[in-house]
Amino acid sequence: MLKRCILLHCLFFALFGSGPVQAEPTNSPSGKQLFREHCATCHGPSGRGGIGLPLHLEDFLRIADRQYLMETIKHGRPGRVMPGFAHLLTRTERGRIADFIEGWQKGPEAELPEVGEGSADHGAELFERNCAGCHGYKGQGGTQPKAAPGHITGKKAVVPPALNNSGFLAAASDAFIKATMLRGREGTPMRAYGGAEELTDQQMNDLVAYIRSWGQGVDPLAKPVIEVRSDLPMDELIPMLKMSINSHNFVFIRQQTLYEGLPPAAKKPDSPVHILQFCSFGLLDKALKVDERVGAFLPCQISVYREGGRTVMSAINPKALSPLFHKPELELFCSLVSEKYLRIMQEANF
Ligand code: HEC
Ligand code: HEC
């Protein structure tokens, strides 16, 4: 599908040049089709939610402006389940999806509140008392209940989203954050705090200041190593990881331990480090055409080991290293691979 889109676009530009786009190719997918293809598995076919938050929700739609939707679709929520679509969909396609989502809104846009100056210190106390129980001690968000994830049971456990997340903080304005507190999201566990005996206006400003104090928030792809930690024991996690690798269209090559093949004199660690190697020949082909130096990252590999009572999956982050090569096309490729790594690890742990 993606290939077809790219092809169509190329054809379009070949015919009409790359000037301002006046018309779209008539058979390009609609916002509705794109939503079904890229979003519905998680957000539900009519946006009522599942693994992803309900989007077809009046309290959300009235305060979420176009920029919020566009930024969210572009960045996703790195490190959370929500993928970023910057490399998968064009801006025009992302715009069509945003239009489609906005079409669900019935009432008028809400008037967004003024946000006055607040104290992050006061906000931190308020957050711990009122919000941390759901959104996590440092705003890292909740997790899907393992026993009954929404996509299997159809029951919608609306998981509290991460607030200290780079994708959320890039998309949300202060007014959006305050408006969410004021009105809550009817039909979800997020209630309104705007009532008389609830938070005062100043306290809400303090909370906004605290949430902003997280700066750009957490982006697990900003560090040179991508890591996901799991409570599953190693022998349960590794088969899941292999399945996840396959489901992302990579071919599993081999599994070995770190010291395999070394002379017996090499001291083995108490707990083995397993290395899983895999490859995508399609991706490899494309990457080598861009730059042979991608060989430095290949084949793809993820190490699995125990640390502090948990199982750790870790991989080199091509996105963080790609600036060393000074080549924009290579950066794009590396970002794609990094996002795949993260997703493979997250889904293994799901
Ligand atoms: C693999 C599952 C998954 C897919 C696919 C997915 N999302 Fe999400 N989405 C989520 C999750 C989970 C969250 C909440 C993030 C969190 O928990 O921190 C979310 C959050 C969002 C939000 C923020 C909602 C709010 O209340 O602020 C928007 C908007 C959104 N997704 C739109 C989309 C669109 C549009 C697509 C398709 C282009 C899409 N998502 C694809 C899982 C997904
Ligand atoms: C009982 C659990 C619960 C509590 C307590 C709670 N929230 Fe939420 N919050 C949620 C859920 C669930 C959502 C997602 C709602 C949805 O589906 O749109 C949410 C959404 C939000 C959002 C929007 C995030 C996004 O991605 O759109 C913000 C901002 C927020 N909460 C802030 C707060 C603050 C600040 C507090 C404390 C004053 C708080 N919440 C208390 C459960 C909770």
Half-sphere exposure in the Cβ direction for 44 (13 Å, CA): 20
CA distance 333 to 327: 10
- Least confident stretch, 59-73, 162-176, 328-342: 328-342
Measured distance CA(249)–CA(206) in Å, rounded: 46
What local confidence, expressed as pLDDT, does residue 267 receive? 65
The pLDDT mean for the chain works out to: 85
Q: Among 165, 200, 219, where does a domain finish?
A: 219
Atom of ligand 2 nearest to the CA of 60: 18
- CB of 342 within 6 A of ligand 1: the answer is no
Pair 231, 159: CB distance under 8 Å: no
Is ligand 1 within 6 A of the CB of residue 67?
no
Here the tokens at position 54 are: 């309900």
Question: What CATH number does residue 186 fall under?
Answer: 1.10.760.10
CA of 52, nearest ligand number: 1
pLDDT tens digits for range 183-226: 999 999 999 998 766 899 999 999 999 999 999 888 888 889 99
258 and 166: one domain?
no
Nearest ligand 2 atom to alpha carbon 127:
37
Based on the domain organization, do 29 and 66 belong to the same domain? yes
- What's the CA-to-centroid distance between 315 and ligand 1, angstroms? 25
Which of 159, 193, 219 terminates a domain? The answer is 219
Choose one of 42, 61, 188, 190 to mutate for the ligand 2 pocket test, by most ligand atoms within 8 angstroms of C-beta. Answer: 190
For residue 80, the CA-to-ligand 2 centroid distance in Å is: 15
The total of structural domains in the chain comes to: 2
pLDDT at 146: 58
User: Which of residues 338 and 15 earns the better pLDDT score?
Assistant: 338
Mutate to test the pocket of ligand 2, among 134, 197, 200, 214 (most ligand atoms within 8 A of CB): 134
- Which of 219, 239, 270 delimits the end of a domain? 219
Spatial CB neighbours of 199, under 8 Å, sequence gap ≥ 6: 126, 130, 181, 193, 207
CATH classification of the domain holding 235 = 3.30.310.70
- Residue span of the structural domain in which 53 resides: 1-219
Summarize pLDDT for 114-138 with one digit per residue, the tens. Answer: 999 999 999 999 999 999 999 998 9
Cβ of 73 less than 6 Å from ligand 1: yes
State whether 194 and 234 are in the same domain.
Answer: no
Clarify whether residues 229 and 117 are in a common domain. Answer: no
Note the pTM of the prediction, 2 decimals: 0.79
Q: Are residues 90 and 230 in the same domain?
A: no
Dist. CA 5–CA 27, nearest whole Å: 10
Cα distances (Å, whole numbers) of residue 173 to 60, 71, 214: 14, 11, 14
Are residues 251 and 139 both part of a single domain?
Answer: no
**Does residue 6 share a domain with residue 150?**
yes
* 28/88 same-domain check: yes
Most ligand 1 atoms within 8 A of CB, residue of 39, 65, 177, 349 to mutate = 39
- Considering the domain architecture, whether residues 205 and 296 belong to the same structural domain is answered as no
> Is the CB of 52 within 6 Å of ligand 1?
yes
133 with 25, same domain: the answer is yes
Note the ligand closest to the C-alpha atom of 185. Answer: 2
**86 and 201 share a domain?**
yes
Percent of the chain exceeding pLDDT 70 equals 87
Same domain, yes or no: 196 and 295: no
